[in-house]
Amino acid sequence: MYTIANGIVLKGLDLAPVKSNIVVDDGRIIDMSPDACEGKIIDVNNSIVCPSFFNGHTHIGDSFIKDEGYSLSLSDLVKPPNGVKHKALSNVDDDVIVDAMKDTMWDMVNNGISHFVDYREGGLKGVKLLKKASKDIPISPVILGRDDSFYGDDPDLSKVKTAIRKLLKVADGIAPSGFGEIGDDVADIITCECMRKGKISSIHVGESRSNQFDSLERFSKSEIRRGVDSNFNQLVHCTNSMGDDLYSLAKSNVNVVVCPRSNATLNSGVVKLNEMVDLGIRPLLGTDNVMINSPNMFRELEFTLKIMSLVHGSYLNPCDVLKMATVNPCYFNFSKSFIDISQPAQFIVLNNFSKNPYLSIINRCETKNILYTINRDYNNDIF
Ligand SMILES: [Zn+2]
């Protein structure tokens, strides 16, 4: 048992700043108040206590080709099967992929991330490689798999179903790349099988304008609308929303993940985050492919806050932006906690630089400013 004393605690789902002590016992918060005090005392002297970070979208399998393919188009870089990424993945030993994934996971741990949602390539084997690689690392991966049987003009749907069922025995869900690679029949099987098993179905949508227009031409609806109508429960990017796309997202209550730094790197556009928040959508932030971006939420937070006011002409509430990297996953059935009595203890303690704790984190904190990382699953005994 121990007490984190005198912190500025970002409490609950609102991240309301309160001066408080936090008592942790057996990985769980058992008391919170200015006077609560049990076990060893760690006085953090007005440092900020923030829920650990959740990286809503990664591809850590491409960690071994960092910074390759800069300035190439989205499809030349990452589209299966001929993009730079997939060619590299098919021509490298598993050991190289695994070692690079381990380095990335440690990088995320050191940056205050306790969970990440990964689109894992390589079918069942790829999912198993990531599971094994993460085994001794204090981080919780949410692994979404895919299979080559999904692709082609006339996929064998019974093979697709079998592949999905095998994947779902080890993976947390299924995530094909996009509607450019799969048809509606495959999409329907993915979402039905995931729903049946209580797992996550996810897909990239609306990342590029051209994909949105192609979809409108071929299917009379945008990619984003196809994602909603196919009942995927997590849609990634939604960068180039058009028409009533954002309303359909808000109405569907689908889990939206945005990746502003990745979109900027790939020259894909700037997501309408301000409008999303106004419509009541609670997006998650993700850092996307490690080959193009570091999986660092401090960098994602700062870029996101600043690019949105620059491009959309109105300021986002910094508290809303921080929620996208911390507590918003709590609304979508991930095993992510917030800071309150009886919640699992999963938080970071950060240097405090200003009177605004949200801007202190977003504008000023770096990895070196993490003073303590508390993760209920891994370090109950550190104090
Ligand atoms: Zn992605």
The string of pLDDT tens digits covering residues 354-375 is 999 999 999 999 999 999 999 8
- Could you tell me the CATH number of the domain that includes residue 34? 2.30.40.10
The reported pLDDT for the residue numbered 379 is 55
> Do 350 and 232 lie in a common domain?
no
Nearest to 55 by CA among 372, 297, 255: 297
Q: Is residue 83 part of a domain?
A: yes
Q: How many Å is the Cα radius of gyration of the chain?
A: 21
Half-sphere exposure of 91 (CA within 13 A, CB side): 9
> Do 144 and 202 lie in a common domain?
yes
The string of pLDDT tens digits covering residues 68-95 is 999 998 889 988 788 899 899 989 999 9
The reported pLDDT for the residue numbered 220 is 95
Q: Is residue 120 part of a domain?
A: yes
Nearest to 27 by CA among 111, 114, 106: 114
Mean pLDDT of the chain: 95
The reported pLDDT for the residue numbered 79 is 83
Give dist(CA 89, CA 29) in Å, integer: 42
Backbone angles phi, psi at 225, to 5 degrees: -65, -40
The string of pLDDT tens digits covering residues 95-153 is 999 999 999 999 999 999 999 999 999 999 999 999 999 999 999 999 999 999 999 88
The reported pLDDT for the residue numbered 80 is 78
> Do 255 and 357 lie in a common domain?
no
Q: Is residue 331 part of a domain?
A: no
The reported pLDDT for the residue numbered 377 is 64
58 CA to centre of ligand 1 in angstroms: 6
State how many domains the chain has: 2
288 CA to centre of ligand 1 in angstroms: 5
The string of pLDDT tens digits covering residues 160-172 is 999 999 999 999 9
Instruction: Provide CB contacts within 8 A for 151, sequence distance 6+.
Output: 80, 81, 181, 182
Region 254-277 average pLDDT = 97
175 CA to centre of ligand 1 in angstroms: 10
> What are 169's two structure tokens?
């025995």
198 CA to centre of ligand 1 in angstroms: 22
The reported pLDDT for the residue numbered 198 is 96
Entry pTM: 0.96
Helix (H, G, I), strand (E, B) or coil at 171: coil
Instruction: Provide CB contacts within 8 A for 171, sequence distance 6+.
Output: 120, 127, 143, 144, 145, 199
> Is 48 a residue whose pLDDT tops 60?
yes
Domain housing 347: 2-52+336-375
61 CA to centre of ligand 1 in angstroms: 11
Backbone angles phi, psi at 222, to 5 degrees: -70, 165
The reported pLDDT for the residue numbered 380 is 47
> Do 125 and 257 lie in a common domain?
yes
- Could you tell me the CATH number of the domain that includes residue 180? 3.20.20.140
Burial of 79 (0-12, 13-18, 19+ CB in 10 A): middle
Torsion of the alpha carbons at 134, 136, 137 and 139, rounded to the nearest 10: 70
pLDDT band at 297 (very low <50, low <70, confident <90, very high): very high
Instruction: Provide CB contacts within 8 A for 210, sequence distance 6+.
Output: none
The reported pLDDT for the residue numbered 152 is 86
Q: Is residue 16 part of a domain?
A: yes
In DSSP terms, 53 is beta-bridged to: 113
Say if residues 287 and 298 touch (Cβ distance below 8 Å). Answer: no
Nearest to 329 by CA among 11, 10, 13, 9: 13
The string of pLDDT tens digits covering residues 192-243 is 999 999 999 999 999 999 999 999 999 999 999 999 999 999 999 999 999 9
Nearest to 23 by CA among 47, 58, 49: 49
The reported pLDDT for the residue numbered 82 is 87
Instruction: Provide CB contacts within 8 A for 89, sequence distance 6+.
Output: 61, 62, 97, 121, 122
155 CA to centre of ligand 1 in angstroms: 23
52 CA to centre of ligand 1 in angstroms: 22
Say if residues 200 and 173 touch (Cβ distance below 8 Å). Answer: yes
- Last residue within a domain, chosen from 302, 325, 348: 325
Higher per-residue pLDDT: 180 or 221: 221
